[in-house]
Structure 1
């Protein structure tokens, strides 16, 4: 029955993959991709400057000039947001300390101590501990440096005699008050540095004589308000720096109307909470406005309408959650817009429609739920766009440069960014499909199988086969989208194809985990509690398996039940697997954490302790028997148990650790996600057929028989003809006379005298003597012959069935001690010492154990323990 089920599963999944691949090819070839109106190149390509030649996106800004005019390597850096970079340069570079020729020459007479003169007409009084502005310096001084002193008040007419000053530096003093006429007479001043002081307010008309001032630095003070006509007279002011103050409100008439030439205004790190129309009244000539890192929570309608000449607007690092749809309506000249690091979750679809000249847009740090192609449709000149996640780049396929340009899984060009992953996905998928298909067919063909065990193994293979189908679909999508992935990324991730593909991956992972957990628990109970009455028959096993499949389907299908909560649960990345490492708190994150940190890690823990418990029980039993093969047999079980636990651990421990790290916001390499999905997650699906079937005795015997029956079988020596090997042996014990149940020998035994020994039991003798040949493996002389080989990983036989005819002895003398989990019959071994030789007696009873024999507790331990 299950062979048919597995075949149907494989056919349906393959058919689905074929249909999806065919549909995808049609989509790529015939679908009309999104491009802004008038875009000169086909999708996935960009023009070589102003020419009509188009070039693939991957060849732009790659360090190699592919265009004849070299345009593909020009403008690769985003210089449209030049305000921030230029501002940093101005602050770092000490323009006034630049050493031009004649730096040591002073032409000023009588420069008072402690000041000194250089560069002909510059006077340096910085860091001299002054409490007042010096008044006896030469009147011909052009640049005066009085920074790093202890001046607290700038008195009226402190500079009235210095009419030739073009630069005055008063920064890093403790200035608290500047009297109204303090700067009287400075009619030629161009740069005034008042930053890093303790100013709280400025008197009106303080700068009325500074008609030529172009740069005014007031940053890093304590200014809270700007009074009307504070900047009266600053007709030539170009740059006003008010960063890191305590300004909470602005009125346009307080500065813009008095500064008609103002182009650049810095208001970063203040306490502005609201933007409204009156704040920027009269600021039509302003080109750069920086409001970074304030406390702005709202932008009223038409608040920015007067900023018609603005080219660079920075609203990053605020608390804006909603932006009106007409906020940027009148900003046709805007080149750079930075909205990053705001709690914006939704953007109006026509928000950017008026920004026809926009070339740089920063939306980094925003987690948006309504992104679409429509949002960026009219941004024809957009060259640079920045998102918090790579998956958003799919909404702007016409933009030449999108950052980040990969999430570790995909890139702008390919669904699988890494070349190794592109090849590995096919290799792993084919291995999974071939291995699991062969096991399903093999276990269907073998009629003498333990039916319960085989039922579980075939279902496990069917589940693992689905994982192979999942990888084949991902590989086919990667092939079809090669070099143009970003153009169709959102279409793919939002499609039903991606959702069903993710459903396959989740279904396979969860059914495999649940099956392995149940099999491990059942095997643990059978080994540790061998005399329990209840053991699952075929019907009960089928019921359990059906429940597991229903649970797996339910767990994988729940994300389809609520789009409001789960959102695009399976489409968060190109491989459609909902591990959610890049966006740990996105839609449905609680459910993802429940699956991977709850169910799967708990299952791993149960499996781990079940196999540890089994090994401890087996080891204790063998120690009590004191068999010469105990150590070798324990090593065999230890190796098989180790590989079973290791494969489960290699899958779920890394996934659990990285999922936990993601939830704690620890940095995780983007490339790890791809390796997890392509390599780590399918480990169980690829290795399960080997651990649970292909290396077991049943399969190796079947293959051996096929080889022996083949006309190409190798020539080998015939076995001795001393009675031959009989398929069934019946004997009676020397003490009870009870007949032993018939048993079958291992089919396909080999005649290797150097690695085999024989044991026989005489019907008339209660004891049989064990001989120890040179090779150190005991033999027993008698009539009934049982051959066994050295223990190895593949010498562990299948689980005995509840049905008597399926009870099969395995290799080794310890197998005679095997007790079927489903029968009341008990076989024991007693060991005695006679003249330096061991004597072995086999005794069989229906209910009781002879007192002088040690009970064998390790039922089915020489069976295929790896199977359950």
Structure 2
């Protein structure tokens, strides 16, 4: 808060900031009339805001600039201060001295000030006896009865605001006691004097005022349907046509003819003959043509409004006679197709020129010659060509021509432009030809993450890394593919070999992409800025973008498949579950189809991506590492951040499971560890391959999410991520799993007999037989012939079968098979000759042995077959018992069984 508290009279004038800007002289001269040595005058200018609209409250906040006036001082205003306050609290917050006469004068000038007045005066429930509040309102027809809306406020009505300049203080005799003159109703106060004349003396043919202003407008006849005030004529939206132009008074200074469609040909020739005219409004009149002689009879114009018409051509020297013009409004002429050279010659005083949205395709040389502007707007148009010297001989602070599809421009387009400080263009390449005195940071857009004005890759380090990584990945992956297709074809019979070979193919595509970018960089060296559009829209750039996307997505998917395959091998070392050749081929085909589809969609679906997905940058890749939102940015985030991040979470989980299996394997016996050593070594080596890919893609995913949340990613970080971090794994993969294997003369892959493991089965089966408790179930017939008999022998000798003995055989046999299956072994072809039962004194005791050697399980069905055959055997024993009960000592008993 601020306020002045001094003795004697104090007067506060409240005025809207926009009205003050356009009527500064009127307000200042009005305020000076109240000043004397015993009076303090303050001018409070305010702007309005409604900060609580979001909460459904339409309260007005005032941004106040409070100044104390000192008209006879060297510095006219002192004690300046600014503050904000709600409008309803303003009156009660102003501080005055206790002894002074206090007055507040409110200028009600605009629709907005009407709302402010309601807020300010509605809250004044009571005022002190020495505080007087006035509201000044302008009403051309002063005879209309004015209602007073606020009981504590006195309304003062004037015809024109200019009245305040000379005699404003006369209306406030209570505040201006030193030199006030009582206002006489129904009289005319002469301009710039204290003289009053009777209303009947106005326009009586003899001037009574010292300046003759009482006779000035006597012959001014307002046209039909128009509204006039002083020398101002408003014929807006009155169906005015060219036949009625002669009815406009010759002394007209301000003429508004807007929104009259019948005036579309008014400036095809010199229809308007008003030599005193200073302001002309012809907006929204559907004007489509301007004659070179249209303004010869209005050459004293200061303001010309031709906005929102359908003007198609601006010819040479169209505005040449308007040498006094300070404001030209051409906004909204969207049909403007041709602007000839020197079309604006003669307009030396205009400050701004708005030609945004026009359809003109070319900016010719010397188009704006001779202009001295603050702002030139050519944005959002159809400009395709800018000729050399297009901005020659123009002084301008800001030029804007962004959002144009400019296909041709010249490096001399800005030659001859003066005082340029700000430049907004469609692409950074135009900043490369900016005037040499202009700073780079004042030109928009900013420098590309990769390219410079001369080269596609602006950093020499990036150029070197591009060739190095590209060639390394090319020859490394080509060697890997040839090695596996020619020298290691057996590996293609298993899932691991198929996935690794396809991974090398995916990385090979990345090397092709890098070489394409490197070749383009070399071909466009020292001239890239002039071929930037050609390169980004070329088929080679699209091909490079598709290859990089296919390579990156396929590489991620194959790493995921390799991780799953190795996890299965480590988890099921005996081959119970495997990804065979057929399944591996199907999964590889699916990975390729998905990757190609992801890469091709931005090229095919033009309506959404607008053919700008891969042309976002000079390296033709669409990584979402910036805060920009170009067409297809959501798709880029979904693929490069969402899909890839989810896939690598799956890879990380798989690697954790592999480590768990490796840790659990340490508790196995030494022999079992030896058998699994090969698979575990493969898993460890594979971890290195996956880790490098993970370290390449994981940071890109993290940076993408950071950019999505609004964080700024440095341009250098973006460039190194795309050129080094993203493709480096394509160069490392063949070194990690192929080249090292060749140089070390050992194969970095599982053995090709991984699916069968015949040798392992034989050795492991013998070990289990000799080591574990299941060995006691297998019988040597030569040593056990006296005690154990096969079931077939028992039946031939008619040894009696009882229910108890059959149950005992069933229980012992089930226990035997359970121990075998827990040891990953099975019998296969279980029958009455392979099962031996202990017999003593011609009675079945029930202990069971098995003939032959077990085999290792390759699939779950092996143990199920044993159980099925055991069920058939028990069923046969019960069948034989029933037959024995019906036919005693039947010689064909065993034959039936």
TM-score by length of 1: 0.47
Bigger relative contact order (CA 8 A; separation at least 6): 1
Give the strand-richer structure, 1 or 2: 2
Comparing both structures, which one devotes a greater share of its residues to helix?
2
If you compute each CA radius of gyration, which structure gives the higher value, 1 or 2?
A: 2
Query: TM-score, normalised to structure 2's length?
Result: 0.46
